[in-house]
Amino acid sequence: MFLIVGLGNPGEKYEHTRHNVGFDVLTLLSEKLNIPIARKKCDALVGEGLYSGQKVVLCKPQTYMNLSGEAVSQLLHWYKLPPEQMLVIFDDIDLAPGWLRIRREGSAGTHNGMRNIVERIGTEVFPRIRVGTGGKPPEFDLVDWVLARYQTPEERKTAFDAYNQAADAALDWMKDGIDIAMRQYNTKKPKPVKPAAEKAAPADASAQQARPTGDNE
């Protein structure tokens, strides 16, 4: 069994902002797996299904970012899962836009959602996918930067391609393990997005709903 958690803030105000990378990746992953994320459980929205013969639970915590660990700790207890069978997907301002970094364990760094998860579950030993959003320009406050949306078509395409690859990396993690996923996706620039026909799990045109938008769209 696998638990995949995408970090973000609930509510329209935060949709498709840089800090909601985890939610957008989970939306794409839910469509690739045909697993709706709609049930309320343990302070989260969850979806349950199967992939490669294994049960998988997709989770979007609804506790707001800084309290993400509340939902995560409850879900691990509910499903009686060790943290090693959980994958957390989140934004990283220390990575260039579009870059992915997959690790089997590690510190929470400066990410408040990850810090809360580590604090609540008492370990740093669980896999994670960091999706680069880039550092803030000098004229931006950090909070304003991570809570802003992408403004240009180029920024939105880079983000959407990275989100697709992060969803694919989560599938590969479940199917082939963390080492293969790291070798495949820990590159210095985004890999070409695989055509939908190559994926074993179905995906429909509604995946475009997760595409990051600008404020004017």
Spatial strand order of the sheet with 100-103 comes to 39-41, 44-51, 54-61, 2-6, 86-92, 128-132, 100-103
Count CB neighbours of 95 within 10 A: 17
Distance CA 82, CA 3 (A): 10
Q: How do beta strands 54-61 and 44-51 pair?
A: antiparallel
SS3 category, 138: coil
Catalytic residue list? 19
Q: Which residues contact 81 (CB under 8 A, 6 or more apart)?
A: 1, 3, 75
